[in-house]
């Protein structure tokens, strides 16, 4: 069974603020923040003890058919509703049974802090239930639209690189390998560590940050579409990033140290050694 906290809801003021329902709020029963209490359903019950059949966070509607006559019994009725997690009690005025709100019920709700609504004869309980259902449906649809828009925006940002994703989320983002080590970060790891106070490992160098971010994001999207497991995705991305770093360092090493060959420039140390060798060879001949 789905827990009440996992179901969509609307605040109580969505019901009390609906002019078409003409609901009257008994102000002295409202504790601070009462009109913000979540309402997940409107339920009608004329039982003297409906608590065992409630899930919590309901707007309970009653016409007082079996309302106790003694104050002590009404107090227990209100206390049981509160213990069951009812958000509010709606009392329907139904002449000739009840010409007005019974004072004992008003006093009990004031004493125990249960929000009390008075529903006029011209407003059927069905209208209350329908209004709550429509409001909850609209709220759920808005939430689904918001999540869908956010997902699309994040997907687009991921395709543009970690930098774009970080700007969209307004935080730093890391591409993490199978060993939980960051492969690439945006902003750079040392900047993120300075902002958060955490010891972040720097991302592997070799490629430009923006270019590396874009390539990593696009690879993730392609592999996700192909159904590659997440662990394989991040491990492969990390391996390719490290390979790129090794190739870059190898090229830099060969260019800076002067590898042998006619098409490679000679390093300063190598040229100096060659000159010294000619001089050493020339001395015996001169002597």
Alpha carbons 67 and 185: distance in angstroms, whole number: 65
Residue whose entry in the numeric block shows the structure tokens 């919590």: 56
Dist CA 81 CA 60 (whole Å): 9
What does the CA dihedral 252, 258, 264, 270 come to, rounded to 10 degrees? 160
Judged by average pLDDT, the poorest of 10-19, 70-79, 144-153, 226-235 is 226-235
Which run of H or of E encompasses 28?
Answer: none
**C-alpha distances in Å from residue 97, one per residue of 21, 121, 142, 268:** 21, 11, 41, 108
Q: 83-87, 174-178, 192-196: which has the highest mean pLDDT?
A: 83-87
pLDDT at 47: 95
Q: What is the pLDDT of residues 209-239, one digit of tens each?
A: 556 655 665 665 555 555 545 455 555 555 6
Q: What proportion of the chain, given as a percentage, has pLDDT over 90?
A: 44
Outline which parts of the chain fall under CATH 3.40.1390.20. Answer: 4-140
Distance of CA 128 to the CA centre of its chain: 32
Task: Name the CATH topology of 4-140.
Answer: 3.40.1390
DSSP letter at 72 equals H
Per-residue pLDDT of 122-141, as tens digits, reads: 999 999 999 999 999 998 88
Q: What is the pLDDT of residue 203?
A: 43
Higher pLDDT, 261 or 149: 149
pTM of the model: 0.55
Token pair of 76 as six digits: 């227990």
Sign of CA dihedral 262, 267, 272, 277: negative
Peptide bond into 30 cis (omega under 30): no
- Return the pLDDT at 242: 65
């Amino acid at each position: 069974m789905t827990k009440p906290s996992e179901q969509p809801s609307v605040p109580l003021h969505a019901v009390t603020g609906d002019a078409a329902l003409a609901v009257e709020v008994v102000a002295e029963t409202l504790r601070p923040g009462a009109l913000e209490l979540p309402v997940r359903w409107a339920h009608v019950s004329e039982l003297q003890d409906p608590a065992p059949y409630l899930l919590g966070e309901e707007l309970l509607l009653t016409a007082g058919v079996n309302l106790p006559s003694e104050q002590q019994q009404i107090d227990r009725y209100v206390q049981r509703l509160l213990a069951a997690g009812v958000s509010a009690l709606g009392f329907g005025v139904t002449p000739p049974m009840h010409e007005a709100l019974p004072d004992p019920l008003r006093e009990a709700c004031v004493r125990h802090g249960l929000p009390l609504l008075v529903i006029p004869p011209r407003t059927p309980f069905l209208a209350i239930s329908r209004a709550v259902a429509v409001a909850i449906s609209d709220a759920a649809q808005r939430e689904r639209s918001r999540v869908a828009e956010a997902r699309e925006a994040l997907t687009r940002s991921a395709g543009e690189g970690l930098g774009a994703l970080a700007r969209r989320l307004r935080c730093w983002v890391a591409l993490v390998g199978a060993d939980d080590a960051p492969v690439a970060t945006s902003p750079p790891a040392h900047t993120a560590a300075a902002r958060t106070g955490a010891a972040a490992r720097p991302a592997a160098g070799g490629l430009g940050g923006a270019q590396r971010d874009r390539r990593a994001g696009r690879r993730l999207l392609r592999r996700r579409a192909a159904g590659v497991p997440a662990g394989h995705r991040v491990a492969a991305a990390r391996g390719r990033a490290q390979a790129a770093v090794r190739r870059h360092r190898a090229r830099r090493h060969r260019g800076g140290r002067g590898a042998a060959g006619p098409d490679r420039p000679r390093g300063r140390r190598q040229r100096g050694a060659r000159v010294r060798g000619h001089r050493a060879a020339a001395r015996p001949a001169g002597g």
